Amino acid sequence: MLKRRILSILLVLAMLVPFAGAAQTAQDNMRGVWVASVANIDYPSSAGMTAQALAAEADTMLDNIAAMGLNTVFLQVRPSADALYRSGLFPQSRYVSGNCGASPDGDFDVLAYWVEGAHERGLQLHAWINPYRITRNGKEELDALPESSPARQHPEWVVEYDGNYYFNPGLPAVQQLVVDGAAEIVRNYDVDGIHLDDYFYPGTDFNDAETFARYGADFNSIDDWRRDNVNTLIASLDETLHTLDPELSFGVSPAGIWANKSENSRGSDTHGQSSYSELYCDSLEWIRRGTVDYICPQLYWAIGYKAADFETLVRWWQKAVSTSDVALYIGLGAYRSAEAQEGDVWYGTAELERQLALLDDSIDIQGEVYFSYASLERVAGCPAMLTAHYKAKDAGHPAPPSTNEPDGCTQQQVTLLNMLSTLIASLFA
């Protein structure tokens, strides 16, 4: 009997070892919101505001976010090869000052203010960057970039596509620029995460044949080479960022359909844009390699929508992460409700409520993120609905008090430690 008890203790100790000191880089119970700066969608509400107005608007938004029961802000800090922070690599954003390269009033540091304000309210702040987009408004916007812009310093990195301009993802120097830019943020700001959206290659007819001829000799097709370029970027960001901060959360929000089953046997039973074959984002490969801490697919369709049913896609993504350590957050299209007219399935809060109920009843889902802040405010009754939803959820599923956990331990470790204590007590009983 004594030997059996000792063996039990050793087994519990073996279970504890893999978890001891493990970094928790993706959080459970994610309740996030995207705050978009591009085109002044969310913040700032207009370009050229005073420092006082920028601060006041941020305070109001952060107060409202906390009041709705949300816990994480995904702030877009690099919308178009620019910066809502002090950078040695990218010019200050025109969406803040009004002119790309010009500092905001009073040299106001948007990211620093938001990080401090979020943490004061118990919120996390993830810096959201767009890796390759340079312009949204064509040649005029490109010509207005300051000489300090990497797009002006290295025109050989720039590709025109459909009237706009992008950095060429196939160039190692461009990939390094994206990695260095993310690392600069982590070194200089106390952010909780780095977040990428779904804008990688803008289309299948991207003009990079010369780059493929130069760098793609190991690949049979330009499609596979493009996917590998994105995979390489993601892996490089993962390694670099976690070297700087092992507890940092790094993830991507891809388009909601990885691939349609009609074109790829591993795809979902859907009919829409394929991020795998049209944007060259192989999210399944990132999950397999573990090069992201979380994945947040943008499932901006209604439950029952024939071409891309929300529930069908939720189940597909659940399966995609089920054997991995990658957390799954679901991107919810609150903007659909903000744009809906009476009679539309998205009108009001009913569809969002149905989707939240489905997520709450699902396994392998660690939370949701809403696009975007302004949409939540524009939908009548939405802030109150979210406040009530999360208050009820917390009441029904209270999180264990952190004071009951030894420093640095997860709840799973606490459970195992309690088992160990029981076994030791029985040994000497």
CB 151 within 8 A of CB 99: no
Please report the pLDDT score of residue 422 as a whole number. 44
Neighbouring CB atoms inside 10 A of 415's CB total: 12
Q: Does domain 25-407 have CATH number 3.20.20.80?
A: yes
Please report the pLDDT score of residue 25 as a whole number. 60
The CA distance from 197 to 95, in Å, is 18
Please report the pLDDT score of residue 400 as a whole number. 38
Please report the pLDDT score of residue 412 as a whole number. 39
Tokens describing residue 151: 């797009």
Q: Where are the domains of the chain?
A: 1-21+409-429, 25-407
Q: What is the pTM of this model?
A: 0.87
Please report the pLDDT score of residue 271 as a whole number. 97
What averages of pLDDT result for each successive group of 10 residues across the chain (429 residues)?
A: 47 40 63 98 98 98 98 98 98 97 98 98 98 96 96 98 98 98 98 94 97 98 98 98 98 98 97 96 98 98 98 98 97 98 97 97 95 98 98 73 36 41 46
Please report the pLDDT score of residue 28 as a whole number. 87
Please report the pLDDT score of residue 206 as a whole number. 98
Please report the pLDDT score of residue 149 as a whole number. 98
Residue whose C-alpha is closest to residue 323's, from 361, 360, 284, 297: 284
Look at phi and psi of residue 93 and say left if phi exceeds 0, alpha if psi is from -120 to 50, else beta: beta
The CA distance from 97 to 65, in Å, is 25
Please report the pLDDT score of residue 23 as a whole number. 38
CB 132 within 8 A of CB 226: no
Please report the pLDDT score of residue 397 as a whole number. 57
Tokens describing residue 247: 């507890």
